[in-house]
Amino acid sequence: MTDMLSILAQHGYVLIFVVLLAEAGGLPFPASIALVAAGAGVASHALWGPSVVFVAIIALLLGDSVQFFLGRYMGWALLGFLCRVSMNPETCILRSAESFYKRGKVTLVISKFIPGVNSMAAPLAGSMKMRFAQFLRLDFLGALLYVSAYLTLGYLSRDFLAATLRSIHLAGRVMEIIVAAALVVYIAYRIVQACKYREYKVVPRVQVQELAARLTSDYPAKVMIVDVRSHGYYDIGAERIKGSIRIEPNNLEVEIKNLPREKDIYLYCT
């Protein structure tokens, strides 16, 4: 605990700024833990409370604003990217947009407390063309709530934190074993996945030039170009390859009935 407080006293404001900026920028940084530690630092007079609040809120607003403007200028592509890890990207995009439209204001205020939602709220607000002044106002409220909550927790539980840190030291060995086991499980999972995909026949890949040349000779009798992007159909002015059709990946079972078996099917995404 003494070590931690000494680090906080020396580099506390910079550390808080960097960690909170990184987290607001979408990186997996433990901002809440940094704030709890800062709260303990305030309780032991290593840091000055109002400065911590100021630095933390500026970092959060800065990171969130970058995300907001990324969402504004990238349109739905950013949400599409964030939804790629979802089991069903199409549903993820539609549900996120509808849910945020209904509860967007409240979501912005509480989003920082909800892992996953915190990285999507600001870009969603940008994609959905929320006014920046309104976004900033709501985001400020959210940041103030978030920073105050964790600083207060750290401030009130300084003694508990010291005890916890001692326990964490003891539990360190156990954690190492758990992390190593998780790593082994993850590697095994990746190997199983790789073997599973090896069972499929390899799908031939064609270069753009090759297909373009084919289009001038065979098109459209033997060729069908299919757009399988899970986003790209949300922004006015969106483009696709000339003559292509869209197949929604999640609706494949239905769409497959209309595909011609006599044609070569060329798939593309973003």
Report the interface residues with other proteins, using CB under 8 A: 76, 93-94, 97-98, 101, 104, 125, 128-131, 134, 197, 200-201, 203-209, 211-212, 225, 227-229, 232-234, 236-243, 246-247, 249, 252, 256, 259, 261, 263-270
Q: Which amino acid is at 245?
A: I
H or E stretch covering 223: strand 223-227
- Write the CA distances from 197 to 85, 105, 190, integer angstroms: 18, 43, 11
Looking at beta carbons only, is 51 or 134 nearer to other proteins? Answer: 134
| Residue 126 CB, nearest approach to other proteins (Å) | 10
Q: Which is nearer to other proteins, 3 or 200 (CB)?
A: 200
Q: Please, what is the minimum distance in Å from the beta carbon of residue 141 to other proteins?
A: 17
Identify the CA nearest to 150 among candidates 28, 40, 32: 32
Question: In terms of CB distance, is 183 or 267 closer to other proteins?
Answer: 267
Q: Which two tokens stand for residue 199?
A: 């069972």
- Among residues 138 and 143, whose Cβ is nearest to other proteins? 138
- When the beta carbons of 156 and 252 are compared against other proteins, the nearer one is 252
Closest distance of CB 5 from other proteins, Å: 44
Min dist CB 24 to other proteins, Å, is 21
What 244-249 contacts at long range (C-beta under 8 Å, 24+ apart), as own/partner pairs, is 244/268, 248/90, 249/89, 249/90
- Cβ 191 to other proteins shortest distance, Å: 18
51, two tokens:
């400065």
